[in-house]
Amino acid sequence: MKLVKCSNCGQSINQKRDVCPFCGAEAVKAPPLVFPPPAAHAAAAPENAGEAVSASASVWWKRPNIIIPAVVGAVFVVVLLAVSISIISSQNAHRKAAADAARAAAAKKVADTRAATTKAMDPFLQLQAALKVGIQFADYTKRVQAAQFAVDSYAPSDAKGKSIRAHLTSAASFYAVALDSWNSQIQYGGSGNQQAAWASASAEVDQAKALAAGE
């Protein structure tokens, strides 16, 4: 259905009407109204939209106020991660070095303690062995003095070492008693009590040896 404008009131009416339904005037048929095809608008829209999208897409990365902060932020994150990793690695290395040093110090302390105990006990063990096979008075005197000097020089700080030193000190006292008894026997004759003193000293040495061995 085609529309025409009424020549009197200007309203759009059907071109087949002879009288305008709005003003009642006789209709003068004017040229039909021509409307632009809708396809023209629809065809223009995608092209313009594509140009707008293309323009915005081609511009964002060229804007320094966007790209520069983004690059700076990425570099900052990378540097921060690298510094954090370096700090953590350094801390781990320090902890490992401290732990290794502590273990080495503990091992050295144990080795020094054993060496000091061995040094203190050696004269007693040698004297004990010499008494089993026989010994002269002069040699016995020197060995007793060496044992006494060893126990006087032995100054442990741990409980086991102190117990060992106590047994060695008792053994040295018994060996000294035997020395006095033997000396009196040589000078004045008679029978001495060396055997009893040596037995007591040997028992003390055996206890010290058991402690040193960890029994």
Share of the chain above pLDDT 70, in %: 82
User: What are 168-207's pLDDT values in tens digits?
Assistant: 999 999 999 999 999 999 888 877 789 999 999 999 999 9
Cα–Cα dist 126/203, whole Å:
14
Nearest to 163 by CA among 122, 125, 173, 171: 171
CA–CA dist 72, 46 (Å, integer): 38
**In the block, residue with structure tokens 């008693």:** 177
Percent of the chain at pLDDT exceeding 90: 53
DSSP type of residue 60: G
pLDDT for res 21 = 82
What tens digit of pLDDT does each residue of 159-175 get? Answer: 999 999 999 999 999 99
User: Which of 98, 131, 153, 99 has its CA nearest to residue 203?
Assistant: 131
Across the chain, mean pLDDT equals 84
pTM for this predicted structure: 0.56
Pick the more confident residue, 195 or 44.
195
Give the distance, in angstroms, between the CA of residue 76 and the centroid of all CA atoms in the same chain.
Answer: 26
- For strands 12-14 and 3-5, give the pairing: antiparallel
Rounded distance between C-alpha atoms, residue 134 and residue 147, angstroms: 18
Amino acid occupying residue 203: A
pLDDT exceeds 60 at position 88: yes
Query: Which residue shows structure tokens 């006292």?
Result: 173
